Amino acid sequence: MAAIKIKPLADRVIIESAVAEEKTAGGLYIPDSAKEKPQKGKVVAVGTGKKDEPLTVKVGDNVLYGKYAGTEITIDGKDYLIMKEADIFAVLTK
């Protein structure tokens, strides 16, 4: 993963969304019109946090976030989400 050329401000983070499921557990392929938006991804950049509220997520964390959270952006031809840390529900652990 190459470093992206953007630094979010304050409590914002940039997330690379996970790939949507291509087929069901039973082996049926899901058409593009029926695919659900992924709700997990990997943090690729973080801001500096607020004055008295440091960020708890860090680059490389796998996170869960709300279905409609964040704003979609495109950087160097790749799609990302930028959102406030408060929109992240959980950090996935191994």
pLDDT in tens, 58-73: 999 999 998 888 999 9
Say what the pLDDT of residue 21 is.
Answer: 67
Residue 7 lies in a domain: no
Residue 43 lies in a domain: yes
> Between 22 and 17, where is the model more confident?
17
Say what the pLDDT of residue 39 is.
Answer: 86
Report residue 1's pLDDT band, with 50, 70 and 90 as the boundaries.
low
The span from the CA of 53 to the CA of 74, in Å, is 28
Domain count, the chain: 1
Give the number of C-alpha atoms closer than 13 A to the C-alpha of residue 37, restricted to the C-beta side: 13
Q: Domain holding 35: CATH number?
A: 2.30.33.40
CB neighbours of residue 75 within 10 Å: 14
Say what the pLDDT of residue 61 is.
Answer: 95
Residue 59 lies in a domain: yes
Residue 39 lies in a domain: yes
